Amino acid sequence: MLFDSHAHIDNVRFDEDRDQVIKRALENGVEGIINAGACMTSSASSIQLAEQYPCVYAAVGVHPHDVKDIKAGDYEQLAEWTKHPKVVAIGEIGLDYYYNLSPRETQQQAFIAQIDVARQTNMPIIIQDRDAHGDILQIIKKEAKGIRGVFHCYSGSMEMMREVVNLGFYVAFGGSVTFKNAAKLPAIAAAVPLERLLLETDCPYLTPEPKRGRRNEPSYVKFVAEYIASIRQLEFAVLAEATTNNVKNLFGLD
């Protein structure tokens, strides 16, 4: 069985066929999906989806793109949401310097504040890191001691991966590892310790080969799994079991 550790099935691109998307995932061996919040609205939607579908779990948080819109009381609301039995993480949170849709200083302040919510609530964190490797590591080392989490859609170097793992974090790969221009990613995915590896789709984005050009969905995590199993020279079942157990260990799932 597989586990999609990062999805956005609350996205409007699933509004017409969400039931069928969930059904296809289950039929393709996906036993669970973690739906990551990107803003307060999508975090609330994630909880609603987790209540509706037994296989869906929710993460709540504000993506760096949207932290410019955080209002008074939002951090308290995130903490309150963690009391829900199907909320399993604070995320996705972090820094995104590619688009800079929120000022960098605002991103850093909100990242630290949401790490603090995770500490107060004993929740793991799901980290978005795009073109911000140095600042991410600096903040993690200073602010996130003792907090567990995952670097979602990993895009750093081999050296950074080793540092991240040494700090106790997991490393997740999605469809981008299968791209022809993936460059260093396959070698890094092959080198991550198996007990620290997660699989994801980040759907509806980053559709893996051989489905590129289509909307991504949780059932496509199997293509990520097949690719990483091949480059690691592992049996598919071995990789699937290990990565699913890793998700359960990180997020405290039965």
* pLDDT, tens only, 60-103: 999 999 999 999 999 999 999 999 999 999 999 999 999 999 99
Helices (H), ranges, the chain: 18-27, 40-52, 74-81, 104-121, 133-143, 158-166, 185-191, 221-232, 236-251
Closest CA to 60 of 154, 125, 147: 125
Which amino acid is present at 218? P
Which residues span the domain enclosing 69? 2-251
Structural domain count of the chain:
1
22 to 56, 173, 214: CA distances (angstroms): 9, 21, 17
Give CA angle at 150 (148, 101), nearest 5°: 115
In this prediction, residues 15-41 reach a mean pLDDT of 98
Mean of pLDDT over the chain: 98
CA angle 14, 225, 169 (to 5 degrees): 90
CATH number at residue 120: 3.20.20.140
Position 116 scores a pLDDT of: 98
Over residues 130-154, the mean pLDDT reads 98
State the DSSP H helix or E strand holding residue 31, giving kind and residue range, or none if neither. Answer: strand 30-36
* pLDDT at 182 (0 to 100): 94
pLDDT in tens, 177-231: 999 999 999 999 999 999 999 999 999 999 999 999 999 999 999 999 999 999 9
- Average pLDDT of the residues in 22-37: 98
Q: How much is the average pLDDT of 41-49?
A: 98
Q: What is the pLDDT of residue 254?
A: 79
For residues 171-182, average pLDDT: 97
Chain centroid offset of residue 10 CA? 14
